[in-house]
Structure 1
Amino acid sequence: MSISSRLAPHQRVFAAFAIYAFALGNLFPRLPAIKDAMGVQEGALGLALIGTSTGTLISLTLASQIIARLGGHRTALFILLPCMALFFAIAVNATGPVALYFLLIPAGLTMGAIEVIVNVEADRTEAALGRRIMNRAHAFWSFGFFGAGIFGAVMAQLGVPPAIHLAGILPLTILVVWLLLSDFQPGPKRSTETADDTPAIARPTMGIMVLVGVSLSAMLLEGASIDWSAIYMSSVFDAAPFLGGLAVATTALTQAITRYNADRIVDRHAPDTVARIMQVGIMLGIVVVFVAPSPAIALLGFALIGAGTSAIFPLAMSAAAQRSDRAAAVNVAALAQFSFVIFLLGPPLLGFVAEHAGLRWTFGIGLPLVVLSFALSGALGSKPIGDR
């Protein structure tokens, strides 16, 4: 009996989130080495990273068609997860920012489709179980990213070239997909999902745009921490390579722990209240990172940002999937599409802020956006889930 056959359906969903994050996350602890190898400043590196954003946004827009062409959710996961690892392994061989931009586009294309699959499957499984698992599913994404951060930190400290490191992730991804997802089956569709009149492009409604605003600051600060925390530690404190990777891992770990417990918290407390408390945590984390006099204090700031960003996007995803105006996949794709503009396009552009104003401002500039998200969080609902 395989490992996958012993897993419950929701556990296979959790595994899919973790594998996705691990295959993706190994790139980011190696960004300082990639930047140094190309001999570029933060602005040029940021523009190169937009290649991932370009591919992801195209894929999110056309996710339903891409998934259908690949044969549905199960087959698509088996194809897309190893392909994403392969494309990142190829991209890190780029010798300049222009080449890196174009080589990252295929990786982004796979990311967008995977993002829709795992979130829709989490929502369907949540409905079948009759209890919330969305935050816990995203916790496993963060656990996977934490593992990638630690593994990448060790590889960086040992001086393993990024090309060899990322090439090794491909067979590891294939093995883990086979071990944990070989018995994966798509969950039953929600009653609110329909196949009729599904638009080819996931255009946002006004309700979805409000949810984009709710997740705005969390997505930007989570993305900034992923893209720039390792380079922040290296440039601001001249820290060892391991500490750069540890900054990435610290954000992911506190995010994972908080997300893992968030479903129980949201069952007892109003989602908008939970979101606003977490937004206060983001504010505190930004301030700590901005004024940190040492690497240890900076890690505390990244820990606060990780915890603060933990549940806001999953709560918005749940709210989008439960809207009855369109199919869940369309609403999820629409929210993900515009949220990922912030998550994937915003942080790379912060490279220009880092280059001209300093790396501390890549985080400080997010404070006004936290205030905006705080004001819009009422869209998540004002009653505990257990009272509905």
Structure 2
Amino acid sequence: MNTTVTFNRLQRNLFVQNLQTFFLNRQALIVGLVFASDSLLFGSWVAHIPHVKERLHLSDAELGLTLFAMPIGLILMNPLTGLIISRLGEAKACFWSAIGLTLAVCIPINAPNMGIMALGLFLLGLTSALLNVAMNTSATNVERSQGISIMSSCHGMWSLGGLLGSGIAGTVIALNVSPSVHMAIMAGIILVATFLFQPILHTIPSSSRNESGEKAGASFVIPNLDLSLMIFIGLAVAMGEGVALDWSAVYLHETLGASSQIAALGFGAFSLTMTSFRFLGDGIIPRIGAKRWLQVGGFLGALGLIIAIALPYPATALIGFALLGVGCSLGAPILYSASMRVPGIPPAAGLATFATFSFIGFLAGPPVIGFVAESFGLYYGLGLVAVILLISAGLSRIVKLF
């Protein structure tokens, strides 16, 4: 009995130590705040998607087609991220991509038609792709230079930003604040924060040059079997995140008849559980094992979507999206790190290649769901993602994580 108590106490102390390491480390915390800034804007935007859909009189298919502009921007930018980061360095790449993000996010919310909305989302795809690789590389540089583990906590900050963004959005919707005004204020806050982050970001050792001082830009590589399996699992996890981001509010509001305020909580419920598990992830992953968690996570994510489909009520759907958040929580931290350790593939190239395909799942998944929803109903769109998550759980048994 005493042994069990002592073990549990050690577990709690270790989790506390992991969190203290992150929050009391200036470089780690600032990188985490960059993650949070990115998702704060996205969490604010996605809560207003039903409003924009209704204002522009878009069908499910038209909304899905418009949302597809983001992955197009991603696909065009991601192969260039290594070159840009090698030229600018991670700190400047974070700075300029964050500036672009704050400007681009104000376009779709004010778009007078479907074309302008698509243009804004295309620019969001470009800037978010560069920011994604730059901030993940910065997190890895902190880990390498200081010998600490912060990747899961950084992704926890991303989830926290989304949680705050959706929560604030739900509040302003309830107060009948104009979505355009809300997004302008959020963009302004992130713009100021971006300037404040720069001095500390510049103190982080850069990996944009190799040991000989030569610039080492990352490029696309043809994935081998190990990286291909990671990519599929990452794509499945990213599709689960994309479902919560772009379709949870629509599903709750239009399919289940929830109010706009309740619908905005869909992504909030997802973000709440994802955030909690990601902040604990740097302690959980070494104990459960990365492969085991990917298996369990895929199953839990699929179960969450099945609950949202099989029990079509707002309360149970919120539970389902919360469970989806648990399932998807640690996939990205595990796989981003693993993609940089694949034998025979340069670390930056592995990260850039993995990031491209996983972000395609994150951004292209919601448009695909839109097309499925238009033809068969949104239930089937969510069910498709559940099936993909179950397949990823099976593949997690055979993937090699180095």
Asked if TM exceeds 0.5, the reply is: yes
Single out whichever of 71-80 and 264-273 deviates more from structure 2. Answer: 71-80
Aligned to 2:57: 39
- Which among 45, 70, 84 is matched to residue 27 of structure 1? 45
TM-superposition CA deviations, 1:151-175 (whole Å, max 9, x none): 1112222222322221222211122
Aligned to 1:156: 173
Aligned to 2:78: 60
Aligned to 2:3: none
Matches within 5 A, 1:59-138: 59-69=77-87, 71-138=88-155
Aligned to 1:335: 354
- Cα distance in 2, alignment partners of residues 148 and 282 from structure 1: 22
- Cα distance in 2, alignment partners of residues 181 and 7 from structure 1: 16
Displacement, 1:371?
Answer: 2.6
Would the alpha carbon gap of residues 312 and 372 (structure 1) be closer, same or farther in structure 2, given more than 3 Å must change? same
Displacement, 1:90?
Answer: 1.8
Aligned to 2:162: 145
Displacement, 1:253?
Answer: 1.2
- Cα distance in 2, alignment partners of residues 53 and 166 from structure 1: 21
Task: Give yes or no for contact 2:52–2:109 (8 Å, CA) kept in 1.
Answer: yes
Single out whichever of 363-372 and 201-210 deviates more from structure 2. Answer: 201-210
RMSD: 2.3
Asked if 1:296 is matched to 2:327, the reply is: no
- Cα distance in 1, alignment partners of residues 185 and 75 from structure 2: 27
- Cα distance in 2, alignment partners of residues 129 and 249 from structure 1: 33
Displacement, 1:379?
Answer: 5.6
Displacement, 1:268?
Answer: 1.4
Task: Give yes or no for contact 1:120–1:321 (8 Å, CA) kept in 2.
Answer: no
Aligned to 2:365: 346
Matches within 5 A, 1:212-227: 212-227=231-246
Aligned to 1:386: none
Would the alpha carbon gap of residues 279 and 193 (structure 1) be closer, same or farther in structure 2, given more than 3 Å must change? farther
Aligned to 1:287: 306
Aligned to 2:8: none
TM-superposition CA deviations, 1:244-302 (whole Å, max 9, x none): 21111111111010111112111112211111111221121011110224211110000
Displacement, 1:202?
Answer: 4.9
Would the alpha carbon gap of residues 35 and 164 (structure 1) be closer, same or farther in structure 2, given more than 3 Å must change? same
Displacement, 1:381?
Answer: 4.9
Gaps of 5+ in 1: 1-5, 384-388
Aligned to 2:35: 17
- Which among 255, 258, 261 is matched to residue 242 of structure 1? 261
Task: Give yes or no for contact 2:70–2:125 (8 Å, CA) kept in 1.
Answer: yes
- Cα distance in 2, alignment partners of residues 58 and 364 from structure 1: 29
Task: Give yes or no for contact 2:97–2:127 (8 Å, CA) kept in 1.
Answer: yes
Asked if 1:278 is matched to 2:297, the reply is: yes
Aligned to 1:3: none
TM-superposition CA deviations, 1:105-164 (whole Å, max 9, x none): 112111000000111111222223323221111111000111111111122222223222
Matches within 5 A, 1:161-310: 161-185=178-202, 186-189=204-207, 200-310=219-329
Structure 2 counterpart of 1:144, which letter? Answer: G
TM-superposition CA deviations, 1:74-105 (whole Å, max 9, x none): 12222221220111102222222232112221
- Cα distance in 1, alignment partners of residues 286 and 178 from structure 2: 46
- Cα distance in 2, alignment partners of residues 359 and 138 from structure 1: 28
Task: Give yes or no for contact 2:219–2:352 (8 Å, CA) kept in 1.
Answer: no
- Cα distance in 2, alignment partners of residues 129 and 376 from structure 1: 33
- Cα distance in 1, alignment partners of residues 263 and 137 from structure 2: 33
TM-score by length of 2: 0.87
Percent identity between the aligned chains? 27
Gaps of 5+ in 2: 1-23
Structure 1 counterpart of 2:336, which letter? Answer: M
Would the alpha carbon gap of residues 279 and 304 (structure 1) be closer, same or farther in structure 2, given more than 3 Å must change? same
- Cα distance in 2, alignment partners of residues 157 and 378 from structure 1: 45
- Cα distance in 2, alignment partners of residues 27 and 379 from structure 1: 38
TM-superposition CA deviations, 1:332-381 (whole Å, max 9, x none): 11001111221111211211222222222221112321232112214655
- Cα distance in 1, alignment partners of residues 336 and 151 from structure 2: 8
Task: Give yes or no for contact 2:208–2:215 (8 Å, CA) kept in 1.
Answer: no
TM-score by length of 1: 0.90
Displacement, 1:325?
Answer: 2.6
Query: How many matched pairs?
Result: 377
Task: Give yes or no for contact 2:69–2:118 (8 Å, CA) kept in 1.
Answer: yes
Aligned to 1:372: 391
Single out whichever of 325-334 and 221-230 deviates more from structure 2. Answer: 325-334
- Cα distance in 2, alignment partners of residues 84 and 326 from structure 1: 30
Secondary structure of residue in 2 paired with 1:360: helix
Would the alpha carbon gap of residues 202 and 99 (structure 1) be closer, same or farther in structure 2, given more than 3 Å must change? farther
Displacement, 1:210?
Answer: 1.4
Task: Give yes or no for contact 1:273–1:382 (8 Å, CA) kept in 2.
Answer: no
Displacement, 1:190?
Answer: 10
